[in-house]
Amino acid sequence: MRLAVPCALALVIACGGDDSNSSDGNDGGTEGGGITDGSATDGGGGDDAGPKASPYGIDARPTNTTCLAQEPPPQAGAIALVDAFPMLPAFDKPVLILQAPGDNTRFFVVQQGAKNAVATILTFANDPNVATTTQFVSLPAGTVTIGTAGEGGLLNMAFHPDWALNHTAFLSYTIGNGTNVSTSIISRIKSSDMNATLDLATEEKNFLNLAQPFDNHNGGNMQFGPDGFLYIGFGDGGSGYDPQGNGQNTNTLLAKMLRIGAGPTGAYTIPSDNPFAKGGGKPEIYAYGLRNPWRWSFDKASGDLWVGDVGQDTWEEIDKVKLGGNYGWSPREGFVCTPSKADPCPKYADPIVTYPHQNGDKSVTGGYVYRGTAIPELVGTYIFADYASGHLWSIIYDANNVASMNPLLTAPTSVSSFGQGNDGELYVVGYGNGRIYKVTRAGVAPPDTFPKKLSLTGCVDKSNPKNPAPGLIPYDVIAPLWSDGADKGRWFAIPDGTKITVKPDGDFDFPIGSVLMKQFSLGGKRIETRLLMRDKAGDWNGYSYEWADDESDATLLPASKSKAVGAQTWTYPSRIECLSCHTPAAGRTLGPELRQLNRDYVYTATNRLSNELATLDHIGVLDKTVGDPTKLTDKLSDPFGSGSVRDRARSYLHSNCSQCHRPMGGGQGPQNFLFTTSDYDANICNADPTEGDLGIAGAKLFVPADPTKSLISLRMKAVDGNRMPPLGSRVAHTQGIAVIDAWITATTTCPNAPVDAGTD
């Protein structure tokens, strides 16, 4: 857990109905020769001569009766959170709720404590009407140290599996000077009568101790596994980017999952099958390469160990941790290599899912696999949260064993932990408001009727999914978004009788029911089609369909996926990742706007070369008349055309970066890459980075005449965790980098503030 969370890097991902560019940087109509564009409303053209320059590309608006936005697939087990014990007073910094083995009559809540205050564990009856708690154990003031990072304190309690017989439990907490150095304590403690309190006189503080070089990333969670051994998770020792290299050092217990034999008496023992039980590393180690496994759990049914590993600046991850596994920290964060690490990423165990720092998400709180009976459709679903945002997600597997991360709801407070009753029901610990919530059914989940094949969406020809349905209108953009050299076709469809609202800034606001479709091809072969749909509630949702090798149809993907395509790896985004780029600030749809569509385009169905805005104006899909497009001055430049290097570079940044790097866009740092923003107000020239300098002395966001110290260039060139964009692209865009570097080189001084024409 991070109770003080650093900012994240911004994210840019090509997904849904956005705009990605081809290998030559200008893919207008590259797919048109082999795909019907769906605009053949007049039957004109179609001969083998070159396209004919015409006032407009199609004669009339096509009727659209099939390609309409579907409602989102129902989430398995639609859930809600209810205050499980509304009569109880709020807890003070709760970090855990649990029950004792074999005792369903009561719960226990661990309170973290505060500086110079006691840290306590309270117990109370398992009754929704309970109004009082009793003290189970209290560590006196000064015993527990919280530390300046707020991640220490009393962190955990674990009952021995034979609690009813031996009355033994274990505590996890930190002590120290409260600044930079502390010690994690795993102590053994007993209850004289099992039903009253833990007796501090019996506490053995030296059961297992670990020095912590810094006061964050303590981990501290512990549970007995189904094999009867005690598992303990420790973070990497703290600070940032693992400065001591503990993640890959098997001679320290930091950044590890430990497994030991812990009985009611005697020293702990080492399981014989621990990976380093016979040497080569610390014998207590079960798995390693973890940054900060704050909360984790065992699946009651399978015994799988699910770990929420808190990320650094970019990625949070969920792992299924196995004996001897190396989960990559710090050479890797999530699926991405971190800077200045020689170790190759592929040797590490992959996460189950990752999610980016976006929309307030910055610190994962691991949860549990639901094994209760109250919500049958949730059985087998892993539920977890993000501490910073309060967002809850589920992870489920499809028939092909592909993991899908799906949004559930947002908790009303920061979630520090989950708990699981002996009956398998789940509880959520509210750190900020001190409440304990129970996961309940929000209603009966409806059947999932969302089309699993592209041919069933109504947006393509059912008999030949390679062709769009007749109701779709093709389009292209001036400055596309880079997506690893793929060629693309783009279309949109709006319900009959509706129009697109042209907003004052020139952006398009599509009506409810609209669909944007984009098809990707590599090496002349279709690999993916993405749909961006606006549902009845006005929300946008992105869906990715993977094409079969024979291109007969494409299948809906429930989660992100990586696939080797030729010599490169292609990334299919998850639904959550789609919306990480399609930000609310950008209006969710990215490419369709006046300044992007003011270009000539070949309409293959009519063999006409026409201005897109003039065509859209003519067929009446816009809510206002555009007029003569040549008189519109707010127009992007082709990044690889003949315009000024400044305009070409700013157009490239507009299409590739401004989704996040704009006011309220979620991107970190001061930069604003909207094309309409002046160079001065872009806030980049000689600006200090907020997300690290990549170890380059004197690095700024933009250093005039020096691309080697300009981070907007250096991050484009990176292929590790510092890459921009960090999602949806694994290949550096040589042409795009060249444009940005040429602009930086040609800029000799920082721009002056724009002159205010309204002042003297």
Q: Spell out the SS3 assignment of 498-537.
A: CCEEECCCCEEECCCCCEEEEEEEECCEEEEEEEEEECCC
Cis peptide before 725 (omega within 30 of 0): yes
List the 182-191 sheet strands across, edge first: 154-159, 168-176, 182-191, 198-212
Average pLDDT value for residue range 704-720: 90
> DSSP H helical segments within 65-132, as ranges?
none
Which pLDDT tens digit goes with each residue over 81-129? Answer: 999 999 999 999 999 999 999 999 999 999 998 666 689 999 999 999 9
**Per-residue DSSP letter, 346:** G
Nearest to 6 by CA among 292, 213, 394: 292
Rounded to whole angstroms, how far apart are CA atoms 569 and 336? 13
Rounded to whole angstroms, how far apart are CA atoms 351 and 348? 9
Q: Given a cut of 50, is residue 9 above it in pLDDT?
A: no
Q: 430-439, 605-614, 629-638 — which is least confidently predicted?
A: 629-638
Sign of the Cα pseudo-torsion (345, 350, 356, 360, in order)? negative
Query: Which pLDDT belongs to residue 181?
Result: 63
Ramachandran bin of 23, using left for φ above 0, alpha for ψ from -120 to 50, beta for the remaining angles: alpha
Radius of gyration (C-alpha) of the chain in whole angstroms: 29
Q: Output the average pLDDT for the chain.
A: 87
| pTM of structure | 0.58
Query: Which pLDDT belongs to residue 594?
Result: 95
**Per-residue DSSP letter, 681:** T
Rounded to whole angstroms, how far apart are CA atoms 349 and 329? 10
How many CA within 13 A on the CB side of residue 618?
Answer: 15
With cut-offs at 50, 70 and 90, classify the pLDDT of residue 399: low
Q: Given a cut of 80, is residue 71 above it in pLDDT?
A: yes
Q: Given a cut of 60, is residue 41 above it in pLDDT?
A: no
Buried b (16+ CB within 10 A) or exposed e, 93-110: bbbbbbbbeebeebbbbb
Q: Given a cut of 70, is residue 12 above it in pLDDT?
A: no
With cut-offs at 50, 70 and 90, classify the pLDDT of residue 45: very low
Question: Bigger pLDDT: 255 or 42?
Answer: 255
Query: Which pLDDT belongs to residue 3?
Result: 34
With cut-offs at 50, 70 and 90, classify the pLDDT of residue 574: confident
Which pLDDT tens digit goes with each residue over 526-560? Answer: 999 999 999 998 889 899 999 999 999 999 987 77
Nearest to 216 by CA among 196, 188, 200, 237: 237
Task: Give every CB contact of residue 245 below 8 A, 6+ residues apart in sequence.
Answer: 330
429 phi, psi to nearest 5 deg: -95, 115
Which pLDDT tens digit goes with each residue over 239-285? Answer: 888 999 999 999 999 999 999 999 999 999 999 999 999 999 999 99
CB 22 within 8 A of CB 736: no
With cut-offs at 50, 70 and 90, classify the pLDDT of residue 727: low
Average pLDDT value for residue range 2-17: 30
Q: Which residues pair with 507 in a beta bridge?
A: 593
Query: Which pLDDT belongs to residue 442?
Result: 81
The answer to whether domain 82-441 has CATH 3.40.50.720 is no
Amino acid at 173: Y
Average pLDDT value for residue range 19-34: 35
Q: 22-36, 364-378, 716-730 — which is least confidently predicted?
A: 22-36
Query: Which pLDDT belongs to residue 395?
Result: 92
Query: Which pLDDT belongs to residue 215?
Result: 84
Which pLDDT tens digit goes with each residue over 171-213? Answer: 999 998 655 568 999 999 999 876 678 999 999 999 999 999 9
Rounded to whole angstroms, how far apart are CA atoms 638 and 478? 5
**Per-residue DSSP letter, 702:** B
With cut-offs at 50, 70 and 90, classify the pLDDT of residue 63: very high
Buried b (16+ CB within 10 A) or exposed e, 576-615: bbbbbbbbebbbbbbbbbbbbbbbbbbbbbbbbbbbbbbb
Average pLDDT value for residue range 37-41: 35
Q: Given a cut of 80, is residue 35 above it in pLDDT?
A: no
What are the sequence ranges of the domains in the chain? 52-73+449-623, 82-441, 645-746
Tokens (6 digits) for 493? 């469809």
Query: Which pLDDT belongs to residue 31?
Result: 32
Q: Given a cut of 60, is residue 38 above it in pLDDT?
A: no
Q: Determine what percent of the chain is predicted with pLDDT higher than 90.
A: 66
Rounded to whole angstroms, how far apart are CA atoms 460 and 470? 8
Strands, E assignment, 372-425 = 382-386, 391-397, 403-410, 415-420
Question: Bigger pLDDT: 398 or 631?
Answer: 631
**Per-residue DSSP letter, 69:** P
Question: Bigger pLDDT: 204 or 403?
Answer: 204
SS3 428: strand
Q: How far is CA 293 from CA 255, 319, 342, 477, in A?
A: 8, 10, 24, 44
SS3 377: helix
With cut-offs at 50, 70 and 90, classify the pLDDT of residue 34: very low
Nearest to 309 by CA among 245, 365, 349, 391: 365
Which pLDDT tens digit goes with each residue over 575-585? Answer: 767 777 888 88
Q: Could you give the angle at which helices 734-746 and 645-657 cross, rounded to 10 degrees?
A: 130
Rounded to whole angstroms, how far apart are CA atoms 478 and 475? 10
Buried b (16+ CB within 10 A) or exposed e, 381-403: bbbbbbbbbbbbbbbbeeeeeeb
Q: Determine what percent of the chain is predicted with pLDDT higher than 70.
A: 87
With cut-offs at 50, 70 and 90, classify the pLDDT of residue 75: low
Sign of the Cα pseudo-torsion (663, 665, 671, 676, in order)? negative
Which pLDDT tens digit goes with each residue over 444-487? Answer: 666 789 999 999 999 999 999 999 999 999 999 999 999 899 99
Q: Given a cut of 60, is residue 24 above it in pLDDT?
A: no
Q: Given a cut of 90, is residue 329 above it in pLDDT?
A: yes
CB 283 within 8 A of CB 270: yes
Query: Which pLDDT belongs to residue 400?
Result: 57
Which pLDDT tens digit goes with each residue over 649-681? Answer: 999 999 999 988 888 776 767 889 999 999 999
Strands, E assignment, 11-133 = 52-53, 79-83, 94-98, 106-111, 119-125
Q: 148-162, 518-532, 574-588, 707-721 — which is least confidently predicted?
A: 574-588
Query: Which pLDDT belongs to residue 577?
Result: 72
With cut-offs at 50, 70 and 90, classify the pLDDT of residue 724: confident
With cut-offs at 50, 70 and 90, classify the pLDDT of residue 8: very low
Query: Which pLDDT belongs to residue 345?
Result: 59
Rounded to whole angstroms, how far apart are CA atoms 34 and 487? 12
SS3 197: coil
> DSSP H helical segments within 157-235, as ranges?
163-166
Tokens (6 digits) for 394? 């589920």
Amino acid at 199: D
Amino acid at 684: I
Average pLDDT value for residue range 424-441: 95
